[in-house]
Amino acid sequence: MKLLRHGPRGQEKPGMLAADGTIRDLSAHVADIGGDVISDAGLAKLAKIDPASLPEVAAGTRLGACVAGTGKFICIGLNYADHAAESGLAVPPEPVVFMKATSAICGPNDDIIIPRTSEKTDWEVELAVIIGKHAKYVSEADALDYVAGYAVANDVSERAFQAERAGQWTKGKSCDNFGQLGPWLVTRDEVADPQNLSMWLTVNGEKVQNGSTTTMVYGVAHVISYLSQFMSLHPGDVISTGTPPGVGMGMKPPRYLKAGDVVELGVERLGQQRQDVIADA
């Protein structure tokens, strides 16, 4: 299934993508896409619904982030060997973990907003993992059983805030609209192998990232197991698993986003996003 949330920001309703590409409204069946709805039992109930029986949502309706109630937005840094190399950094001996504020989360096609004092706003296409049930001290062998589904994420980053200011990476990762998520939550039964998905990103039509999850240093199962040793993972938590090479910071000379740019990105089987870049007011 491809689950989604549609409508104005803060007023999103649950939905499902039909086989013909139309968006169908799930409001009569569930309150939102999150919590128990994305548990194994909740997803099994949704799978019994015929999308054709649901009301059709008007074409062009805004899509929100594909999951609600995210308590933690966890990111894994330098998780592609080739991206670590372009960043001039060694492959880490363990996953690099940082948090992105949940207030950064927005719809897949919502604008990228360049912060007022930003000089180095960058792009990162990533595979996002959405947790479906409570996970603590999970083995790597069982880790994928805790996944509700997968989605496309743009881990937008302000590199000066991230690396040139004192402290940790969080403030370079957490600005408003720095976490486009969706368009769909694609349930795990539709993704046979999360370590074999192509991914790409373009800026103004130029392909700058063209990678695959096959080159992840620490795969999805390892990351879930690893994180669960340090913290409980809850339904709706999002893990963004790192980006392949081609980010602006790694270009020679570096290249960053400016107002008027258009960013498009996608992950195989998970859909794609499109964002206009604007300056903050």
Residue tagged 């409508």 (tokens): 7
For 171, phi and psi rounded to 5 degrees? Answer: -70, -15
Neighbour count for residue 273 (Cβ, 10 Å): 25
Report the domain count for the chain. 1
| Residue 252 covered by a domain | yes
Gyration radius (Cα) of the chain, Å: 18
Q: ω into residue 253 within 30 of 0, thus cis? A: yes
3-state secondary structure of 149: strand
Reported as half-sphere exposure (CB side, CA atoms, 13 A), residue 85 has a value of: 9
Q: Is pLDDT at 167 greater than 90 in this prediction? A: no
- Residue 233 domain-assigned (yes or no): yes
Query: For the residues 98-123, what does the mean pLDDT come to?
Result: 97
Q: Which two tokens stand for residue 258?
A: 């400016």
Report the alpha-carbon distance of residue 281 to residue 279 in Å, rounded: 6
In a domain, 273, yes or no: yes
Q: Is residue 193 part of a domain?
A: yes
Query: Tokens 């897949």 correspond to what residue?
Result: 108
Give yes or no for residue 241 having a pLDDT over 80: yes
Answer yes or no: pTM beyond 0.75.
yes
Q: What is the CATH number of the domain that holds 250?
A: 3.90.850.10
How confident is the model at residue 55, as a pLDDT? 98
The residues, ordered by sequence, that sit 6+ positions from 269 with a Cβ below 8 Å of its Cβ are 186, 190, 191, 197
Q: Is residue 133 part of a domain?
A: yes
Residue 92 DSSP class: P
In a domain, 88, yes or no: yes
Domain membership of residue 165 (yes or no) is yes
C-alpha distance across the termini of the chain, in Å: 38
Domain, as residue range, for 159:
67-279
Q: What is the pLDDT of residues 179-212, one digit of tens each?
A: 999 999 999 999 999 999 999 999 999 999 999 9
Tell which residue, 216, 65, 76, has the closest CA to residue 149.
Answer: 65
> Rounded to a whole number, what is the largest CA-CA distance in the chain?
54
Single-letter residue type at 195: Q
Residue 129 within any structural domain of the chain:
yes
Q: How confident is the model at residue 166 (pLDDT cuts 50, 70, 90)?
A: confident
